Amino acid sequence: MSNQIPCPRCGQPVALRSWKCDHCGIDLALAAVLAEPTLSSVFQLPLGIRMAPEALVPRLGDYLIEKGLLSPSDLNQALEYQQECAAAGQQILIGQALIDLGMIDRPVVDEAITEQILQLQFALQQTNRQLEQRVAERTAELQQALNRLTELNQLKSNFISNISHELRTPLTHIKGYLDILSDQSLGSLTPLQKDALEVLKRAETRLEKLIEDLIQFSLASRGELCVQWQNFELSKILNEIISQSMHKAQVKKISIIREIQSNLPCVKGDEEKIGWALNQLLDNAIKFTPDGGSVAVNALSDGKIVKISVKDTGIGIPTERINEIFEPFHQLDSSVTRKYAGTGLGLTMVKRILDVHGSTIRIDSIPGEGSIFEFWLTVA
């Protein structure tokens, strides 16, 4: 063993047998412990309360045997003496028991305790350094993964944007020729041909809507969802959307209930985007409501805001899965045999549109009974 170590406070040499620095008076063992936050928290050392250094050293007797300062038989005898003292109501540590029995002197015990405490402190410091290195490595790995994920998201957005615009061009040609055929500019049509043409036009309209959704989503993903702020009549938009949805509801024998306050004040926002969001909510309500159900559109103002809600008697959403419906390209039923079609972008875009308007969407839903989608807009 080295006979001296530097003082952790002043740097002056300190004899291991003295326990204290003659220059600054610091308690060597206690300073070693308190210098290591991990160790001090384990032993919960209250400030200003001294603890016997030996209490911080595990298996002192074994350590003394390893150093050749004690024999196993002496240790067993000291342990028996310690138990006798405990039975008599006197709690002593093994070091004190060895001293009381004259098997070892105080300076040797103190030196062994100090050396073990310093070794423990060094081991803890090494462990902390290793942990810090591992944390730094994992942080770097996570940052790299995040950068890669950001890059992939950007590539995905670019791909969606490019493919959407590429699809729009041929679709425009298809739509144009379908209109020409409908006008019978290329010749008269039989009743069966007219029916087939109507099917094609409905499919074209649906495809056009899907492409437009993809374009809007790609713009929003790149932060290009611009809002044209203006004051507009919400009641007019609501009535137009309800009228446009009537045919779809009638096919499923779903009744649409209007609960729109008379003299509803104008609101502030982007009329086109709010109209798109309302149309999406109403379209979803009709799509997920079984035949013969009902959908209620409600709009009510308190003079400062207008609360809008779309309530249906549809299939409902489990509470624990409500947040999933706002994830892009996500369907609660993702099986190949799913009943309801769609890209999984509608509600994602609704939420983003409302976010840029400073509004939030609230959902109350009970599986098998229906759902309520509610948000608010500021009165102009």
Do 276 and 366 belong to one domain? yes
* Number of domains observed in the structure of the chain: 3
Residue 242 domain flag:
yes
Phi-psi region of 26 (alpha: psi -120 to 50; beta: other; left: phi over 0): beta
| Residues 325-341: tens digit of each pLDDT | 887 665 655 444 445 55
Do 215 and 248 belong to one domain? no
Residue 82 domain flag:
yes
Residue 99 domain flag:
yes
Do 235 and 364 belong to one domain? yes
HSE-CB at 319 with a 13 A cutoff on CA atoms is 2
Which of 1, 8, 12 is CA-nearest to residue 115? Answer: 1
**Contacts of 291 by beta carbon, 8 Å cutoff, 6+ apart:** 252, 253, 254
Do 235 and 294 belong to one domain? yes
Q: Distance (Å, rounded) from C-alpha 47 to C-alpha 196? A: 88
Q: Which of helix, strand or coil describes residue 149?
A: helix
Do 12 and 124 belong to one domain? yes
Q: Which of helix, strand or coil describes residue 243?
A: helix
Do 205 and 312 belong to one domain? no
Do 20 and 119 belong to one domain? yes
Residue 146 domain flag:
no
Which of 57, 54, 74 is CA-nearest to residue 65? Answer: 74
Q: Are 270 and 311 in contact (CB under 8 A)?
A: no
- Exposure string over 296-325, b if 16+ CB within 10 A, otherwise e: bbbbebeeebbebbbbbbbbbbeeeeeeeb
Do 70 and 193 belong to one domain? no
Q: Which of helix, strand or coil describes residue 218?
A: helix
Among 199, 221, 243, residue at a domain's last position: 221
Torsion on CA atoms 202, 208, 211, 215, rounded to nearest 10:
-140
| Residues 22-32: tens digit of each pLDDT | 776 655 554 54
Q: Which residues of the chain have pLDDT under 70?
A: 1-11, 14-21, 24-58, 157, 160-161, 219-225, 328-344
Residue 298 domain flag:
yes
Do 258 and 213 belong to one domain? no
Residue 151 domain flag:
no
Do 260 and 193 belong to one domain? no
Task: Supply the pLDDT for residue 271.
Answer: 93
Q: Are 345 and 328 in contact (CB under 8 A)?
A: yes
| Residue 351, domain extent | 230-333+341-378
